[in-house]
């Protein structure tokens, strides 16, 4: 894997390899490495996977999908990619629809010659799936002994202790029980913080909404804080730490756009899926940049941090991310290379929030557990998952040795058109049917 630094007016740091997307170059090509195969070769029923393709691609058709299209007639998404893996084997991988379809936030179609089809090499802004990558980076430092899961953040970043945060632990950040509000207030892109250093200080000195450990509340601040911790204890940048293990996994289209390089100066610009017409949808308070957002991170706070944050900023493809999923199913190894200890992987599937007695709060380290809206009818405490605001999702079902991915740009042209949870839930149904399980199709 090669790390590119492209110097224009700013610097774009990209992670790239010439290896096969699912086989790390030079690795031991044993059973722990993903291969392509038929569903029958691993005991799955092929018919549901064939039906899945027709069913899921239909969500590009405008219709009233109830709460998923906000009770209006809209498509759920313009296009996307899917990948299903079972027992070290990719049994289904397909792309559908368009990655670039609209000329404005109202849904005016681009002329046909400007529309761009989706393919399996389409790069998507992963949004909050970045938290999974940050989690792996944190777990690697725990495995090395540089971090302790139950130690306070203030031990590593002393200035974090202000505003009632002295007892917040690494575990609380990873399970969203720290007490932080969902986002920084004021926002990091608001203009209140003129320098990068002031934005980092604002993250570290944020106050709390709830007493530490008392409640689950999903917060980007948890993973912004984990980024600060990682960079403090390693004296390395987050993108470098993540590049270290994605290199080992042979992930050739996975990167942060450090410096928010816009347009064709970004070598992955044309491969990337356009996102939202953000200024048109949300107003002039949004970052002033070319529209629709394409190739630079959609999340405004991550954008204000030069494109690199612990909560958002990673771009990838389904074929790249498949290797990360298989590593977790392999209990931390891939191609003979150790990425995580088995204990760390076990902690991904351990419900640290069981005390709240609320299925919506179930959470392992960095991953959600037992969530229907991400995994569909395969949800369980052995199923870890996460979603990204832009339309991405990852599901790893340890009990069935299976994973499935869906990447889309559902915010193209506007976040106000749809939620693609209906697609995520249906994907879980079709995978379950292929596994010969008794599952029911999700309801609108």
Q: Which helix (H) or strand (E) holds 271?
A: none
Q: Could you tell me which of 166, 135, 139 has the C-alpha nearest to residue 153? A: 166
In order of 252, 314, 335, 345, the CA distances from 20 in angstroms are 8, 20, 13, 25
Residue 141 in this model has a pLDDT that exceeds 60: yes
Distances (CA, A) of 310 to 128, 130, 147, 223, 366: 9, 7, 16, 5, 11
**The 255-256 sheet, strands edge to edge:** 124-125, 314-316, 255-256
Q: Is residue 27's pLDDT more than 80?
A: no
Q: How far is CA 23 from CA 83, 98, 251, in A?
A: 16, 28, 9
Bridge partners, residue 86, by sequence: 89, 402
* Statement: residue 438 has pLDDT above 70: yes
pLDDT at 8 over 50: no
- What pLDDT score was predicted for residue 193? 96
Q: Could you tell me the two tokens for 72?
A: 């209006």
User: What band does 26 get if pLDDT is binned at 50, 70 and 90?
Assistant: very low
Tokens 């270290």 belong to 244
Mean pLDDT, residues 221-237: 99
Query: What is the C-alpha separation between 240 and 162, in angstroms, rounded?
Result: 29
Asked if 332 and 349 touch (Cβ cutoff 8 Å), the reply is no
DSSP letter, residue 374: H
Residue 387 CA, chain-centre distance (Å), reads: 6
Tokens describing residue 22: 């699912």
81, β-bridge pairs: 95, 407
Q: Is the pLDDT of residue 11 over 50?
A: no
Question: Using CA atoms, how far apart are residues 93 and 112, in angstroms rounded to an integer?
Answer: 26
Confidence bin at 279 (pLDDT 50/70/90): very high
Label residue 289 by pLDDT band (50, 70, 90).
very high
If you average pLDDT over residues 238-242, what whole number do you get? 99
Can you give the pLDDT at residue 444?
A: 76
Give the dihedral sign, CA 258/262/265/270: positive
Closest CA to 60 of 7, 117, 143, 103: 117
pLDDT at 22 (0 to 100): 34
CA distance 291 to 149: 41
Closest Cα to residue 275, out of 297, 260, 249? 297
The CA distance from 221 to 177, in Å, is: 11
Q: How many helices (H) and strands (E) does the chain have?
A: 13, 17
> Phi first, then psi: what are they for 386, rounded to 5°?
-160, 155
Kindly report the number of other CB atoms within 10 A of residue 163's CB atom.
11
Contact (Cβ atoms closer than 8 angstroms) between residue 294 and residue 274: yes
Tens of pLDDT, residues 181-203: 999 999 999 999 999 999 999 99
Spatial separation of the C-alpha atoms in residues 42 and 37, rounded to whole Å: 8
* Cβ proximity of 185 and 219 under 8 Å: no
Task: Provide the CB-side half-sphere exposure for 34 (13 A, CA).
Answer: 32
pLDDT of residue 32: 80
- 234 backbone φψ class: left, alpha, beta (φ>0; ψ -120 to 50): alpha
What angle (nearest 5°) sits at the alpha carbon of residue 305, between those of residues 420 and 179? Answer: 70
Tens of pLDDT, residue by residue over 368-382, are 999 999 999 999 999
Q: Which of 9-18, 47-56, 272-281, 428-437 has the lowest mean pLDDT?
A: 9-18
Q: What does the radius of gyration of the chain's CA atoms come to, in whole angstroms?
A: 21
User: Position of tokens 């771009």?
Assistant: 315
- Paired strand residues for 123: 272
The number of residues in the chain equals 444
Matching residue, tokens 């612990």: 310
Tell whether the model's pLDDT for residue 1 goes beyond 90. no
Q: Which domains does the chain have, with CATH numbers?
A: 2-137+236-434 (3.40.710)
pLDDT grade, residue 5 (50/70/90)? very low
Tell me the per-residue pLDDT of 81-136, one tens digit each, with 9 for 90 and over: 999 999 999 999 999 999 999 999 999 999 999 999 999 999 999 999 999 999 99
Max CA-CA distance within the chain?
Answer: 58
Q: How far apart are CA 421 and CA 137, in angstroms?
A: 28
Q: Is the pLDDT of residue 20 over 80?
A: no
pLDDT score recorded for residue 443: 85
- In angstroms, how far is the first alpha carbon of the chain from the final one? 43
Look at residue 4 in the predicted model and tell me its pLDDT: 33
CB 294 within 8 A of CB 269: yes
Q: How far apart are CA 252 and CA 123, in angstroms?
A: 11
């Amino acid at each position: 894997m090669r790390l590119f630094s492209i110097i224009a007016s700013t610097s774009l740091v990209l992670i790239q390899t010439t290896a096969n997307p699912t086989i790390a170059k030079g690795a031991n090509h044993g059973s722990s490495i993903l291969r392509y195969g038929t569903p029958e070769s691993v005991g799955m029923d092929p018919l549901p996977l064939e039906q899945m393709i027709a069913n899921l691609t239909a969500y590009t058709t405008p219709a009233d999908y109830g709460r998923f299209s906000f009770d209006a007639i809209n498509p759920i998404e313009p296009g996307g990619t899917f990948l299903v893996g079972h027992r070290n084997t990719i049994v289904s991988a397909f792309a559908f629809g368009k990655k670039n379809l609209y000329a404005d936030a109202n849904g005016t179609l681009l002329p046909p010659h400007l529309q761009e089809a989706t393919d399996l090499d389409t790069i998507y802004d992963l949004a909050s799936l970045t938290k999974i990558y940050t989690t792996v980076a944190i777990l690697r430092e725990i495995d090395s002994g540089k971090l302790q899961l139950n130690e306070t953040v203030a031990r590593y970043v002393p200035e974090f202790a202000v505003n009632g945060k002295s007892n917040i632990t690494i575990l609380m950040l990873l399970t969203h029980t720290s007490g932080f509000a969902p986002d920084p207030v004021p926002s990091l892109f608001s203009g209140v913080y003129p320098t990068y250093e002031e934005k980092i200080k604002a993250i570290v000195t944020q106050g709390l909404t709830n007493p530490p450990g008392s409640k689950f509340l999903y917060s980007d601040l948890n993973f912004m804080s984990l980024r600060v911790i990682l960079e403090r204890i390693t004296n390395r940048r987050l993108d470098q730490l993540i590049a270290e293990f994605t290199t080992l996994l042979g992930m050739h289209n996975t990167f942060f756009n450090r410096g928010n390089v816009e347009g064709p100066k970004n070598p992955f610009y044309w491969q990337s899926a356009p996102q939202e017409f953000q200024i048109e949808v949300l107003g002039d308070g949004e970052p002033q940049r070319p529209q629709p957002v394409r190739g630079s991170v959609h999340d405004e706070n991550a954008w204000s941090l030069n494109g690199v944050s612990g909560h958002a900023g990673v771009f990838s493809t389904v074929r790249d991310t498949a290797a990360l999923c298989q590593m977790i199913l392999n209990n931390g190894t891939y191609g003979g290379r150790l990425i995580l200890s088995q204990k760390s992987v076990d902690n991904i599937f351990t419900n640290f929030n069981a005390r709240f007695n609320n299925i919506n709060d179930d959470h392992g380290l960095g991953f959600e557990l037992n969530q229907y809206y991400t995994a569909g009818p395969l949800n369980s405490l052995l199923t870890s998952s996460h979603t990204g605001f832009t339309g991405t999702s990852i599901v790893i079902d340890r009990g069935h040795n299976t994973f499935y991915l869906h990447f889309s740009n559902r915010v193209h042209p506007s976040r106000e058109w749809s939620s693609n949870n209906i697609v995520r839930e249906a994907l879980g149904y079709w995978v379950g049917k292929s596994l010969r399980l008794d599952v029911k199709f999700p309801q609108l």
